[in-house]
Structure 1
Amino acid sequence: MTGVETKKDIAKEFGGVKYILTSGMRSKLLLAMYENPKNLDELRTELKKPSATILHGLKELETINLIKKVQKYYELTSNGFLLTTNMVKLIENWYSINRGKLFWNSHDLSGIPDEILKDIYLLKNAEYITSTTSDLSNAFNTYIRLISKAKRLKIILPIYSENHFKHLIKLLNGDKLKSLELIVSEEIINSMAENELFNRELLNNKKVKIHSVKGRLKIFLTQSEEFMSLTLFFKDGHYDDSQILIAKDQNALKWAKNLKKYY
């Protein structure tokens, strides 16, 4: 939820944002000065625009205290830097959403809190794996290959899946996987306790730490030291095992860590 309390305040603040974003020149000037100050010649070369157009844009930004001129160089003010930082974040969020638009648009996102969704830009380098009619198990097999290489796994598991449990047990009985942390619902724990194999090899395994949560989980998140993966439910409530998001960079691991921490 936004910290701005009234629609009037939102409209007022949006007017300022719109003033920047609806002008290609104003936005490009802020981005051009984001990392270091620039003089007029450098701005003209970078933006490929005449001096008159650039100077007009600079004057507009200077009037609203987003940039200042220091000798021959133009640089962002503190306000300008804060605004541009968030503008970059908005652009990266848009890029990340657009890359995975089929994944995000077809799934229920209610299991991901707003504050985590706002940082979706951290997943900008993620890969989206989809099963096909010729390979219905592509997403699942890709996931199994990933976890087979992990030394430590942290998993938010929203479904009771004997297939997944048996693969985890196999890994725990091998030499590679040293620890497993599971977050599951109380209902799933009760079902596991009724299964002799899962009760012995998972619930009572010293290498396994299990947290229970009340209610139904709506995300399947896996995190290791080297990768994170995410699968979701369709909007009709059915679990989708045909699409998986996978990422291995530090930004994505940070995103997954924050989501796991939330739960």
Structure 2
Amino acid sequence: MATTIKNNLKEEYNGIKYILTSTMRTKLLLSIYENSKNLDDLRNELNKPSATILHGLKELENLNFVKKVQKQYQLTSNGYLLTTNMIKLIDNWYATNKNENFWNTHDLTTIPKENLKNIYLLKNANCISSTTSNLSKAYNSYTELIANSNELKIILPIFSENHLTQIVQLIENQTLHNLELIINQDILPLIRGNPLFKKWLINNENVKIISLKIPLKTFLTINNEFISLTLFFKDGHYDDSQILIDKTQDGLKWGNLLYHHTKEWRWNQ
């Protein structure tokens, strides 16, 4: 079974490599991804001679990625699937490089593979880093981000009085009406032991606390307008100096996938 999968991956890799090592083949697939085009359209768009374009099209036709229908070139089903995944690969590469330091310096081992494979959904995310002249820049950005939230879902991997106090203040001020909080089971006694947190978080019907046995390594906050993410260093220490923020629908999709995956762990305990 493993050998079969390995051989299939090798064949797929060779196919992708063949496409990506040719700028012309790649551009042709991307050009006709949304709409079919004739030779004149492609020549004007790509600014290349007809002979070069026709050569590339012929190569793609031989691979059953492109077909010609009444002088219009369009993708076959195989070509459409290939190009869709090629775009995803390019976007993944872009998203990773855009916030390279954030991803390279942190522990990603507890982030589900499905999230890592779809990192392209965070291509519009921005990383905010604290500096020596503003050590609280990342934390202040988080404070501003949630200030007007009436609903939050949070994975909280650490016991942070600052963050919990901030959340309680939003509840006290009747800004935050619904809160779902996923924490590690070791944090629950600490919350119960604080009178303020016990009153507003434990004894509050609008707050749902989910306690898990598994170690949590992601500090994720979501509402219907944004997600924010902070992580741990690879040495196990929590990093409060960098925060990734995304306000797009793609970012929300990525964040909700991570949140629901983490939440599902309670059924597997």
TM-score class, shorter-chain normalisation, is over 0.9
Structure 1, unaligned runs of 5 or more: none
Structure 2, unaligned runs of 5 or more: 263-269
Alignment partner, residue 256 of structure 1: 255
Could you tell me how far apart the structure 1 residues matched to 2:221 and 2:26 are? 38
Amino acid at match of 1:140: Y
Q: What does the per-residue CA deviation read over 1:17-69, in whole Å, with 9 as the maximum and x for residues that have no partner?
A: 11111111111100000000010011111111111111111000000100000
Amino acid at match of 1:75: Q
Alignment partner, residue 110 of structure 1: 109
Structure-to-structure mapping, 1:35-46, within 5 angstroms: 35-46=34-45
Q: Which runs of 4+ in 1 moved over 6 A?
A: none
Alignment partner, residue 184 of structure 1: 183
Could you tell me how far apart the structure 2 residues matched to 1:165 and 1:221 are? 14
Aligned residue for 1:38, secondary structure, equals: coil
Alignment partner, residue 52 of structure 1: 51
Could you tell me how far apart the structure 1 residues matched to 2:192 and 2:4 are? 48
Cα displacement (A) at 1:5: 4.6
Could you tell me how far apart the structure 1 residues matched to 2:217 and 2:86 are? 30
CA RMSD of aligned residues (A): 1.2
Amino acid at match of 1:59: K
Q: What does the per-residue CA deviation read over 1:141-193, in whole Å, with 9 as the maximum and x for residues that have no partner?
A: 11011111111000000000111111111111012111111000110112212
Conserved in 2, the CA contact under 8 Å of 1:172 and 1:207? Answer: no
Could you tell me how far apart the structure 2 residues matched to 1:183 and 1:20 are? 44
Structure-to-structure mapping, 1:88-99, within 5 angstroms: 88-99=87-98
Conserved in 2, the CA contact under 8 Å of 1:129 and 1:139? Answer: yes
Aligned residue for 2:83, secondary structure, equals: helix
Alignment partner, residue 71 of structure 1: 70
Aligned residue for 1:68, secondary structure, equals: strand
What is the aligned-residue identity percentage?
59
Could you tell me how far apart the structure 1 residues matched to 2:155 and 2:123 are? 22
Alignment partner, residue 172 of structure 1: 171
Aligned residue for 1:110, secondary structure, equals: coil
Aligned residue for 2:48, secondary structure, equals: coil
Alignment partner, residue 153 of structure 2: 154
Cα displacement (A) at 1:4: 8.3
Amino acid at match of 2:43: R
Given the superposition, is the C-alpha separation of residues 54 and 4 from structure 1 closer, same or farther in structure 2, using an over 3 Å criterion? farther
Q: What does the per-residue CA deviation read over 1:224-247, in whole Å, with 9 as the maximum and x for residues that have no partner?
A: 111110000000000000000001
Alignment partner, residue 232 of structure 1: 231
Alignment partner, residue 24 of structure 1: 23
Alignment partner, residue 126 of structure 2: 127
Q: How many residues align?
A: 261
- TM-score, normalised to structure 1, is 0.96
